[in-house]
Amino acid sequence: SRSFLYSRSRSRSFRLQVTSPRRTGRWLDSSSFPETETETGFFSPSPAEFDDVTGVAASSETETEILKRASTFATDEKHNENVLETESSSSSSSSKMCLPRHVAVIMDGNARWARRRRVPTLEGHRRGRDALRRLVERCAEEREIHALTAFAFSDDNFRKRPVHEVDALFRLMEASLREERPRMLRNGVQIAFAGDIDALPASLAMLCREVEAEAEAHAAASSTPSRLLLTLAMNYGARQDIVDAARRLVDMAQRGELAADDVDESLFRSALGTSKATRHAGDPDLLVRTSGEQRMSNFLLFESAYTELFFSDVEWPAFDDVCFDKALHAFSTRTRRFGGRNDDKHETRE
């Protein structure tokens, strides 16, 4: 059901088309790569970013090598299809389940998704943006889900990723925010941010502040409450957020606004960068991480003390409603005891 079509022109450029029941045909043409990001939503690598495209120029590849690489592509495509089919078999309708009020997600696997398909890393980030849009729309449709907190970009990413990748990702974030801004307002989705926004490029930081202020004003003026609070954690690290919260409380104490005995979990939570989300919907009930990794990666460490964790093998760009249904189903089958026992009948200290 999947076919690979190959042709080589006199200029020795190559074309590779993949067709399958799940994917429409798409040409990858080595002779059509412009040098910069286009405004049509498709990315072509500049020389500095060409290392993100595994595989080499057609002039140094034989026809056998290209067809061998096409076979590898088919294997990689089958990986995600098998995972999706497995997840589909155990998912169920969310209308019959107990749903979380606050969902958090670590959107992992954009680069791996791109490498499997021999396309630039930024294309993986583009598809990851599309996956987030799908999830936001889905969460906004579920009445029980009031907040979605997404790990968009960590402070470690900022320091450790290649400069050209980070800069391209910032441009994508800014363009996406401008594009999604009116749609979010129309659909009743309020946007907030967590993390060190001021350290981002000036234009992106200013846009984040504008979008958040506009969303707050729109929510205050609306007669109906927002359907969903979307918090984007950008240049965020939970450890740094905890340190910053402690500093804020120390500053308040030094100004005489706070006594040591006033500090408790509730007050500390209110000093965190995610306080808007936790005030709105409490701490996260469910945290989803994609792409097979099973760790927190410095995300919501304080807020996730009793959060149910769900790990999916599907890479983030391929994460869809079927995958989310499985996460919701897993959540609905768990018993949350918060340190107690279901059969406890005796008197407690609370």
Distance of CA 63 to the CA centre of its chain: 38
Structure-token match 């939970």, residue found: 238
Verify whether residue 157 is a known catalytic residue: yes
Q: Are 307 and 285 a contacting pair, CB within 8 Å?
A: yes
Residue 235 catalytic? no
Q: Cα angle vertex 288, ends 283, 293, to 5°?
A: 130
User: CB within 8 A of 149, min separation 6: which ones?
Assistant: 102, 103, 104, 105, 194, 230, 231, 233, 274, 277, 284, 300
What residues have CB less than 8 Å from 247, skipping those under 6 apart? none
Beta strands 147-154; 102-106: pairing state: parallel
Q: Of the residues 76, 157, 298, 313, which is catalytic?
A: 157
Choosing from 52, 80, 108, 285, the catalytic residue is 108
Q: Known catalytic residues?
A: 108, 157
